[in-house]
Amino acid sequence: MSRVRYAVIGHPVAHSLSPRIHAAFGQQTGIALEYTAIDAGCGRFDAVLAEFAAEGGRGANVTLPHKARAAAICQHLSERARRAGAVNTLVRTNTGWEGDNTDGAGLVRDLTERHGQDLRGRRALLIGAGGAAHGVAPALLDAGVEDLFIVNRTGSHVDALADALGEPGRVHPRYLSDVGTLGVFDLVINATSAARVGTPLDLPGGLFAPRGDAVDLSYGEAAIGFLSWARASGADRTIDGLGMLVEQAAESFLRWHGVHPDTDPVYAMLREQQDVLVTAD
């Protein structure tokens, strides 16, 4: 009999905390599961996923750089995956893979419930236009962000994201080089992999409104540079992506098992551990 398996698929992926998170969720809920990390280099995602399915894989998380490709291979997309144009959660069905995106829900839940943020009416800056930005942008709008400015080095990428969001009155695509001319923000979110690939963002100061906050979707070493810049630039609060990682994992767990785990003890466990200085999913 084929084993029922779950996994996170990405490149690189050995750093991922997802196996630890899902093991903790399984122990907490009494659900026996096997969850591993699978490395799939560029051009290898389809083959790796097919092999995973043949070996009994029933669900997978997808991380860099495969979120857009995961959306393309799905037979069905959830509404939030369709809006995002990216998939971080795959569910095996009788007709193939169903794709979902739990990133945005994870971010909003972490910000509003763990950190007490009220996103309604806020002027937000989203830096980046890749899979992570696609995943969180719709949820930020749904949570009540009044104006969402999206900046990226490549104009075509930010324009594509803005077009997909379809709210020209609230969504404002701009070049990263113009960020210093956009005024101040209540919330600045780094959704790039710049620290991971060794490319500094080189952001100007003066971007934060009074009591303006900074969020990095990465955590550990990958978040240090941006959050240090934010503190030096006057951010009121700086928040890394560890809580978002746990919350999006809980949303995936719910899709696969029908149970939403208690995230607080898992978040506390990871936060206390010294080896969380790795890049985020």
pLDDT in tens, the chain (281 residues): 345 799 999 999 998 999 999 999 999 999 999 999 999 998 999 999 999 999 999 999 999 899 999 999 999 999 999 999 999 999 999 999 999 999 999 999 999 999 999 999 999 999 999 999 999 999 999 999 999 999 999 889 999 999 999 999 999 999 999 999 999 999 999 999 876 655 678 899 999 999 999 999 998 888 999 999 999 999 999 999 999 999 999 999 999 999 999 999 999 999 998 444 444 45
Where along the chain do the CATH 3.40.50.720 domains lie? Answer: 104-240
User: What's the confidence (pLDDT) of residue 193?
Assistant: 82
CATH 3.40.50.720 fits 104-240, yes or no: yes
User: What's the confidence (pLDDT) of residue 199?
Assistant: 66
- CA distances 153 to 57, 128, 159, 281, Å, are 37, 8, 11, 22
Tell me the residue type at 69. Answer: R
Contact status, residue 107 vs residue 142, Cβ threshold 8 Å: no
| Spatial separation of the C-alpha atoms in residues 14 and 273, rounded to whole Å | 17
User: What's the confidence (pLDDT) of residue 197?
Assistant: 58
Give the homologous superfamily in CATH for domain 5-101+244-276: Leucine Dehydrogenase, chain A, domain 1 (3.40.50.10860)
Where along the chain do the CATH 3.40.50.10860 domains lie? Answer: 5-101+244-276
Q: How does strand 208-216 pair with strand 185-190?
A: parallel
The tokens describing 81, both together, are: 């995956």
136-139 long-range Cβ contacts below 8 angstroms, 24+ apart: 136/103, 136/104, 136/107, 136/189, 136/191, 136/217, 137/84, 137/104, 137/161, 137/165, 137/171, 138/80, 138/83, 138/84, 138/104, 138/165, 139/80, 139/103, 139/104, 139/105, 139/107, 139/108
* Residue numbers annotated as active site: 67
Residue 186: strand, helix, or coil: strand
The tokens describing 259, both together, are: 């149970």
Helix axes 18-29, 242-257, angle to 10 degrees: 50
The tokens describing 62, both together, are: 């997808």
The tokens describing 2, both together, are: 């084929």
User: What's the confidence (pLDDT) of residue 3?
Assistant: 54
Question: What's this model's pTM, rounded to 2 decimal places?
Answer: 0.93
Per the DSSP assignment, residues forming a β-bridge with 124 are 148, 187
DSSP state of 42: T
Kindly provide the b/e burial profile for residues 190-212, where b requires at least 16 CB atoms within 10 angstroms of the residue's own CB.
bbbbbbeeeeebebeeebbbeeb
The tokens describing 169, both together, are: 């009155």
User: What's the confidence (pLDDT) of residue 177?
Assistant: 94
User: What's the confidence (pLDDT) of residue 280?
Assistant: 45
